[in-house]
Amino acid sequence: MRKHQKVVDITNSYSILALDDDPTMTLTLQTYFQRSGYHVDVENDPYKAIERVRNGHYDILLLDFLMTPICGDQVVEQIRSFNQDLFIILLTGHKSMAPPIKTIRDLEIQGYYEKSDRFDQLELLVESCIKSIKQMRTIQNYQKGLTKITEDMPRIYGLRERKEIADKLLQTAKDLMDGQSVYLALRRESLLDQSAVEPDEPYFVRSMGEAPSLEEVIQLSERVLRQEAVQEDGDWVVAPIVNEKEIIGSLGVRIEGAPQYYQRQLLGIFARQASSAIWNGMLQRLLIEKNEELVKANNILRENYTQIISAMRLLVDTKDIYTRGHSDRVAYYAARIAREMGKDQAFCEQLHVAGLFHDIGKIGVPDNILLKDGRLTEEEYAKIKEHPAAGAKILSSLTRFQPIVPIIRAHHERIDGKGYPDGLRGTQIPLEARIIAVADSYDAMTSNRRYRSSLGEEKAVKELIAGKGSQFDGELVDWFLRVLQDKETLKKDLAGLED
Question: What pLDDT does 368 receive?
Answer: 85
Question: What pLDDT does 192 receive?
Answer: 57
- What are phi and psi for residue 102, nearest 5 degrees? -60, -40
Model confidence pLDDT, tens digit, residues 266-319: 888 888 888 888 777 777 777 777 788 888 888 887 788 778 777 776 776 676
Model confidence pLDDT, tens digit, residues 176-233: 888 888 888 887 766 656 556 566 666 777 788 887 777 787 778 777 767 667 888 7
In a domain, 219, yes or no: yes
Q: What is the mean pLDDT of the chain?
A: 84
- What are phi and psi for residue 67, nearest 5 degrees? -140, 170
Domain extent, residue 195, equals 159-287
Q: Are residues 334 and 480 in the same domain?
A: yes
Q: Are residues 171 and 273 in the same domain?
A: yes
Question: What pLDDT does 8 receive?
Answer: 36
Q: Are residues 181 and 233 in the same domain?
A: yes
pLDDT grade, residue 164 (50/70/90)? confident
**Minimum mean pLDDT range among 22-36, 100-114, 142-156:** 100-114
Bridge-based pairing state of the strands 111-114 and 87-92: parallel
Q: Are residues 493 and 368 in the same domain?
A: yes
User: Side chain identity at 499, as an amino acid letter?
Assistant: D
Q: Are residues 229 and 324 in the same domain?
A: no
- What are phi and psi for residue 351, nearest 5 degrees? -65, -40
Q: Are residues 225 and 130 in the same domain?
A: no
Q: Are residues 101 and 243 in the same domain?
A: no
In a domain, 448, yes or no: yes
Average pLDDT over every residue of 5-11: 41
CA dihedral sign, ordered 391, 397, 399, 405? positive
Q: Are residues 344 and 404 in the same domain?
A: yes
The total number of structural domains that make up the chain: 3
Q: Are residues 129 and 163 in the same domain?
A: no
292 and 173 Cβ atoms separated by less than 8 Å: no
Q: 112 in helix, strand or coil?
A: strand
**Minimum mean pLDDT range among 167-176, 258-267, 433-442:** 258-267
In a domain, 187, yes or no: yes
pTM, 2 dp: 0.52
Give the residue from 287, 309, 344 where a domain finishes. 287
Q: Which residues of 28-38 are buried (b: 16+ CB within 10 A; e: fewer)?
A: bbbebbeebbb
Give the residue from 240, 264, 287 where a domain finishes. 287
For the domain that residue 21 is a member of, what is the CATH number?
3.40.50.2300
Q: 422 in helix, strand or coil?
A: coil
Model confidence pLDDT, tens digit, residues 361-398: 888 888 888 878 778 889 988 998 999 999 999 889 88
> How many angstroms separate the CA atoms of 475 and 352, rounded?
20
Question: What pLDDT does 216 receive?
Answer: 80
In a domain, 140, yes or no: no
Q: Are residues 344 and 462 in the same domain?
A: yes
In a domain, 153, yes or no: no
Percent of the chain with pLDDT over 90: 36
Q: Are residues 193 and 121 in the same domain?
A: no
For the domain that residue 233 is a member of, what is the CATH number?
3.30.450.40
Ordered alpha helix ranges (H), 342-473? 345-357, 367-370, 378-384, 387-396, 405-410, 431-445, 457-466
In a domain, 143, yes or no: no
> How many angstroms separate the CA atoms of 143 and 149, rounded?
10
In a domain, 374, yes or no: yes
Question: What pLDDT does 5 receive?
Answer: 36
Model confidence pLDDT, tens digit, residues 409-431: 999 999 999 999 999 999 999 99
Q: Are residues 423 and 279 in the same domain?
A: no
The 10 Å Cβ neighbour count of residue 165 is: 24
In a domain, 173, yes or no: yes
